[in-house]
Structure 1
């Protein structure tokens, strides 16, 4: 039987390896249902345990394999010994806030002469800028650590060098051949880095940095001489998990272990800011990747998008319950405001995107769109149209753009190429997301350039016009036991998606509009068993129309 979704995608049943499934089941005593799912993911009996229960020590490299790591550690220790006033400058997104908090919370154990600076999205722009450097100098900053940014900040780091400020860059974004002037640049995505850790987000790289820093301090008897306890680095894994999930990097190898172990730490609520935000967000269940990615992440991001850029970092580094609550409630309010503004922009953007849908790449622009929300809008359009998407907002003839891509087209490299060709003023990113600044009169040039790049990469691109299904379930099998077995395949996210199942022969009983963002549908099977389905806002209108028109038909 052929299955197809309302959106026109064909549902294709994944073929499981019967021999592999049987081998997993017999050797490891794993339930047949779970062993089939493992075989679909090509998990062998030998690596089954490390997949189902990934431990960091199995995947953890020597941090020194990262280019400049040892130099970065030595440079920071020298600055600490010289009592230099250190500034930690992070990006305003969740990965930036998490990375900042990892560095700051570790430094609290060993040093006190430092401060945080998170650039204002609209005043300073992304990463270190000359304006942000001037503010740092006013605050008596003498040594700068940039996290989740800095790799493409040539002008700002040159200004820092001219003002005798040593700079240490910890980043993960795509690098050009030419690198900015700094004391050390730790980034697995610079061209001559041989670590094979390019899949890490900035929080992951920052964690490896404090591992290397901690090791150096231990070996030099720092803790013994100062008579202080060595910090437990596992306590920072909740922050690593937060950044890893929200930056949507692939949950493979070390990332998977980071998230698996980080969620265990998060459940212990050791970080006061995260604990407070969980309470404010009214999360009653044991938190998982869904709660982090869809409930905590958007709230932390809200400060950088439409409010005060340093709220997220301040929350994640706070040790004051009253301050934590004030920040968490502010972020919660900003997130509600963000949703309202986003909905208005999204309605306009979808209409423009429909007109662009004949192109290989969708580019939409409006000078009135809030700059802090264009990244979300780009994500939504990409999800609906399944094409690389660029959303642009502009002021004073200079436009800011945010890009989201699909597997097979490296948008970060494409934007770097546009910069090298003089089309964009500045920009960069990674495979799936990027940002840039551009003169308004060059937007059409950028569109043509990116379409050309896309066409040249098309041999490596496969149009995702189907949905892979892991199996067919009866309505009776949709139960707690099945849920528990499926959950063993987690944590879920990019690179390790949740299994998808077809539940056959259901009749629709009722549609319930929960709110503007959520639709609930009640189904019943031929045996009288009821099941509830939910649909979030993407493609909601199309689904509602279909359900109404085919109310008396059977559904899968």
Structure 2
């Protein structure tokens, strides 16, 4: 293995997509193919993702024992646990109030399942995305109090709900907030507010600001069990199996695009093992509906299971996700999972319409640092997905806003790029009086805006974030982990690389460069996917596919201008197991001339 090289990989200073190729870390050239792969590749991948040499073993197989912090380090954690235990002892009615996305659904399901295991029949409430919007409303909290709930635990929401929590307090109901979104200096009135992103957190707790809400809820579950144990609650009864809840933690963490380093890697690695056992009735039904017969990997949570749970909150019934994940009836679970799959297909069609309309506006915003796109009649349930698509297409933070002509407001959802804190900018815009409501974290945010403030809001974001966006986009680079000849693109390589997972945001899946190769065939399949068949000097051919890439310079070059030329193709390797024999294929992200 050669030392780290600062030069461009394979001499590529400008690829077909306009990027320089550089090594993420050590120069891993496997010119003779992938024969003899061993743990050296895993070690290399871990170290290029920031792992110190003496901690490679710890990160190679992340365990809860190695990464789990003491929950009491988090502000209000013990107070929250003690209040829940008090409610259990007094037989109070407890309601879990969750958000309508996957993180909210899994967080709510986790606490409902925990309380069930403690013989407490807790209720849950998931707001309607269209009618109620994000976060707890005062009206809903007060109504839950009227129906007998004396303790409400909000999950994945509440950190900025000052007005709603004030109404709840005045109605005499205690609210515990379990959240991970950005907080303001002034916190809302709550019986306890557990959030690693509180501005007054200590350093250890704040270092866990990348946790999804479901991860914070899991820490609360540990704290609750610990208080009960100290009180002698388990004398003569079995303690709940908290590890069995990690399938929920893994799903919520990956689907919420939380950074997969530190504790989150342990959550997902161990949660995938629980998922493979298919013990949770609702989760097994969800995997069946997704036609997932093998043991799931992290990408399945983000691209197969998560979107189906999300579909309920986006365009269907917001409670379907929690109902499925807490179901004890296999037939009920099967019906809900199949219904969610149908809703997901409907969501895709709606999303395509909104995306086409949003992209039509891009031409007029080519000089803006942040793409702010809006339209009347756009379905609010898909704007977050479309914002993500626009971000990928433009390489800029993007916000998509669905305008409601009836009340003169818009619901917006934004996605950012690495190095640009969109959540903080949204909070600043709210404090400037440009938004009715808004918040989020660095990579994603939501907002409610008066239609007449749209222009001022766009200018505010452009002014505030222009320099950050310019820095983030300067000298765009694709980081690669290894290069190899086409013969090295094998199932064994896929297996070797997966050993350094799970992969996701903050822990990127390995990228490889394959070549040199000439193009045998390149065409468009589906609506706008590029399919490539290429072959190398070693006589070995391979398949590559680039999703939603039909209009890119890369696609046009490979289709129309590849004759007589050789290329290096770069992307992530995946296992194609549809045929009789598994084969490795390349999920193509970039290409460059090889001569």
Tell me if TM exceeds 0.5.
yes
Q: Do the aligned residues in 1 keep the contact of 2:414 with 2:445 (CA within 8 Å)? A: yes
**Equivalent residue, structure 1, for 2:484:** 473
Aligned equivalents of 1:402, 1:263: Cα separation in 2:
29
Counterpart of 1:402 in structure 2 is 413
In the superposition, the TM-score normalised over structure 2's length comes to 0.88
Query: Per the alignment, in what secondary structure is the counterpart of residue 518 of structure 2?
Result: strand
> 8 Å contact 1:17–1:39 — kept in the other structure?
no
- Tell me which residue corresponds to 1:554: 566
Q: What displacement does 1:408 show? A: 1.6
2:431 to 402, 420, 423: 420
Residue aligning to 2:137: 129
Equivalent in the alignment of 2:53? 45
What are the superposed Cα offsets for residues 228-266 of structure 1, whole Å, 9 maximum, x if unpaired? 211111101111111111111111111111111111111
Q: 1:325 maps to which residue?
A: 334
User: How far does the alpha carbon of each residue in 1:305-344 deviate from its partner, in whole angstroms, 9 at most, with x for none?
Assistant: 1111111111111111111111101110000011111111
Q: Give the C-alpha shift of residue 351 in structure 1.
A: 2.1
1:9 aligns with: 19
Query: How far apart in 2 are the matches of 1:41 and 1:430?
Result: 22
Which secondary structure does the structure 1 equivalent of 2:558 belong to?
Answer: helix
1:340 aligns with 2:388: no
* Equivalent position to 2:317, from 305, 308, 315: 308
- Post-superposition shift, 1:466? 1.5
Q: Which residue of 2 aligns with 1:73?
A: 81
**Stretch deviating more after TM superposition (100-109 or 349-358):** 349-358
Matches of 1:349 and 1:247, distance apart in 2: 23
The equivalences for 1:47-126 within 5 A come to 47-126=55-134
- Map 1:18-417 onto structure 2 (within 5 A): 31-137=39-145, 139-194=147-202, 195-196=205-206, 197-224=208-235, 227-395=236-404, 396-417=407-428
Which ranges of structure 1 fall in alignment gaps of 5 or more residues? 19-28
User: Is the 8 Å Cα contact of residues 155 and 179 (structure 2) preserved in structure 1?
Assistant: yes
Q: Do the aligned partners of 2:485 and 2:538 also contact (CA within 8 Å) in 1?
A: no
Aligned to 2:583: none
Structure 1 residue 284: Cα displacement: 2.4
Q: Does 1:493 align with 2:504?
A: yes
The 3 A distance-change label for structure 1 pair 540 and 82 is: farther
Displacement of 1:543: 4.3
Per the TM alignment, residue 500 of structure 1 is displaced from its structure 2 partner at its CA by 0.9
Checking the alignment, whether the CA contact within 8 Å between 2:253 and 2:264 is kept in structure 1 is yes
Contact 2:88 2:120 in 1 (8 A): no
Question: Using CA pairs below 8 Å that are at least 6 residues apart, which structure has the higher relative contact order?
Answer: 2
C-alpha contact (below 8 Å) 2:398/2:415 kept by paired residues = yes
Aligned residues: 544
Please tell me whether the aligned partners of residues 384 and 539 of structure 1 are also in contact (alpha carbons under 8 angstroms). Answer: no
Change (3 A) 1:38 1:199: closer
The alpha-carbon distance between structure 1 residues 540 and 217, as it changes in their structure 2 partners (threshold 3 A), is farther
Cα deviation 1:325-382 (Å, max 9, x = unaligned): 1110111000001111111111121121232121111111001110011100110111
Counterpart Cα distance in 2 of 1:366 and 1:10: 36
Partner of 2:542 in structure 1? Answer: 531
Q: Which has the higher helix share?
A: 1
Q: Secondary structure at the match of 1:185?
A: strand
Deviation at residue 134 of structure 1 after TM alignment: 4.6
User: Which stretch shifts more, 145-154 or 457-466?
Assistant: 457-466
Question: Alpha-carbon deviations, 1:397-425, whole Å to 9, x = none?
Answer: 01111111112221111111111111111
Ranges in structure 2 where 5+ consecutive residues have no aligned partner: 1-9, 29-36, 569-595
Cα separation, 2, equivalents of 1:306 and 1:124: 14
What value does the CA root-mean-square deviation take over the aligned residues?
1.9
Rounded Cα–Cα distance in structure 2 between residues aligned with 1:542 and 1:326? 44
Deviations 1:412-466 (A, max 9, x none): 1111111111111111001111101111101111111111211364697453611
